[in-house]
Amino acid sequence: MKIQPAKTVEQIKPYYFSTLNKTIAELKAQGKDIIRLDMGSPDLPPAQFIIDQLVESARNPKKHGYSPLGGSAEFLRAVSSYYKNRFGVDIDPKNEALALIGSKEGIFNIHHTLLDPGDLVLMPDPYYPVYMAGAELASARVHFMPLRKENAFLPDFDAIPAEVAQQAKLMWLNYPNNPTGAVADLDFFQKAVDFAMRHEIIIVHDAPYTDLTFDGYVAHSILEVPGAKEVAVEFNSLSKTYNMAGWRIGMAVGNTDVVRYLATYKSQMDSSIFAPIMDAGTAALTGDQSWLVERNQIYQERRDVVFAGLIEAGFEVEKPKGALYLWVRLPEKYHDTAQFCSDVLHEAGVSLTPGEIYGPQGEDYFRISIITPTEQIKEAMRRLVAWVESH
């Protein structure tokens, strides 16, 4: 018997990085040294007090059963405290906050929570691939909002056709941005909220990089805009902010109805998060935040190393103020970003990410992540410069 997947699943390509991981494993098995500048998984550990809280909690025999659906009261209060201290935003921990098994889970599930087949999603282009996969598996329609350099990689709401805006139900935003590294000010978020209110659109702001910023820049939450909670929900994560990517813990905050619907959907899928991880997350959100300054300095140094190497190699690139990526335009002589990244991987041993996986606007770009030890990044830049000079 031949087993057929659902038509929606049949149309979905495997997640790019799962395929890349297999390729890199094969190259390493052949004895090749590969420096990875592709994924966004932090290489640095969390602060010791966060780890200590995990260990202490895990030793408590009462912490190993099912934990409360949607997050413990302590963790949700910590989320509320973090939003108040960091952004000046009041979050009701009982009705406006929800714990997630990493924000990726919520990003995917929100499509099935809010969309019926045929509903329209306003999608930034380039985009985090899970936005598109979630929309496709929900059988939604997509209208691209191009993010272009000449507009600081921000969508132009005035360029969205009126009939599209009238049909749209959900709009994705993501600042600081993956993959471009672009940032958005409060004026932009005000425009987004005004647009959403006029057209009755739900804004989903994906905000895992708000505490990964450089050169003194301070990122904003869309919920800082007065009245934003009427139309917006924000996903945030401890993965990047606190170097806890493998721990799988994040949160959704904002619009009460969206949070409730998402909680109902989640209740059919999972049984919450391991309690000691939530205890450690509580410590991370409410504990000393000063260690993040030194951590961000390390990332900033890496960003500068990559930027200098790319300029030396003749690439066109902006120096980002936030997130963990540099978005690099491919010179015309190379033509194909996927082939370029493949050649650099196999010949120079440096793994980059082709921009085309982030949408049509990424076809002339590639992405570099700064989540590798600094000395390895320096070596990767030496390799890339030498490879470009020889080609």
- At residue 364, the pLDDT reads 94
- Cα–Cα separations (whole angstroms), residue 218 to 48, 175, 324: 25, 12, 15
Q: Locate the DSSP E strands across the chain.
A: 35-36, 97-100, 120-125, 141-146, 168-173, 202-206, 232-237, 250-254, 316-317, 325-329, 350-351, 353-354, 365-369
73: Cβ contacts below 8 Å, ≥ 6 apart: 93
Cα Rg of the chain (Å, integer)? 21
94 SS3 class: coil
What is the distance of C-alpha 206 from the center of its chain?
Answer: 7
- At residue 7, the pLDDT reads 82
Each residue's pLDDT tens digit, 15-25: 787 788 899 99
Each residue's pLDDT tens digit, 80-116: 999 999 999 999 999 999 999 999 999 999 999 999 9
Instruction: Give dist(CA 84, CA 79) in Å, integer.
Output: 9
Domain-wise residue ranges, the chain: 7-45+291-390, 63-286
DSSP conformation letters of 56-86? HHHT-GGGSSPPPTT--HHHHHHHHHHHHHH
Q: What is the CATH number of domain 63-286?
A: 3.40.640.10
- How many other C-beta atoms can be found within 10 angstroms of the C-beta atom of residue 128? 21
Residue 216, pLDDT > 80, answer yes
Fold of domain 7-45+291-390: Aspartate Aminotransferase, domain 1 (3.90.1150)
Residue 233, pLDDT > 90, answer yes
Helices 48-58 and 275-286, axial angle in degrees (round to 10): 150
Q: What's the predicted TM-score (pTM) here?
A: 0.95
70-73 long-range Cβ contacts below 8 angstroms, 24+ apart: 70/98, 70/99, 70/263, 70/266, 70/267, 70/272, 71/97, 71/98, 71/99, 71/251, 71/272, 71/273, 71/278, 72/99, 72/275, 72/278, 72/279, 72/282
Portion of the chain with pLDDT greater than 90, in percent: 92
Average pLDDT of the chain to the nearest whole number: 96
Portion of the chain with pLDDT greater than 70, in percent: 100
- Cα–Cα separations (whole angstroms), residue 285 to 202, 224, 237, 295, 320: 27, 18, 11, 16, 25
